[in-house]
């Protein structure tokens, strides 16, 4: 009987490295159309996986935020303002 092997999704860092490699391959412009489509589909799956990991991390940051007195509070994660 054939066993269904479940592969663990790659880490965020590994997925980003693979996405960069896929982009580099595609930018060369020498891949056949079928390969380009396969790489594009792989990249979309990796991007989706990365977004899910980032969303989960953001929720964790919201959950563990505490105020100065140590009381737990739900606060949104805001990116620092880079405009100076």
pLDDT band at 60 (very low <50, low <70, confident <90, very high): confident
What's the DSSP call for residue 72?
A: B
Tokens of 32: 């056949």
The count of other CB atoms within 10 Å of the CB of residue 49 is 17
For residues 45 and 15, what is the distance between their CA atoms, to the nearest angstrom?
10
Q: What is the rounded average pLDDT for all residues in the chain?
A: 81
pLDDT band at 82 (very low <50, low <70, confident <90, very high): very low
Question: What's the pLDDT tens digit per position in 3-23?
Answer: 555 688 899 999 999 999 999
């Amino acid at each position: 009987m054939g066993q269904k092997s479940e592969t663990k999704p790659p880490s965020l860092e590994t997925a980003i490295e693979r996405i960069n490699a896929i982009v580099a391959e595609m930018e060369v412009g020498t891949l056949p159309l079928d390969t380009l489509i396969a790489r594009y589909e792989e990249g979309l799956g990796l991007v989706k996986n990365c977004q899910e990991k980032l969303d989960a991390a953001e929720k964790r940051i919201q959950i563990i935020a505490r105020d100065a007195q140590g009381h737990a509070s739900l606060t949104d994660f805001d990116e620092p303002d880079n405009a100076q």
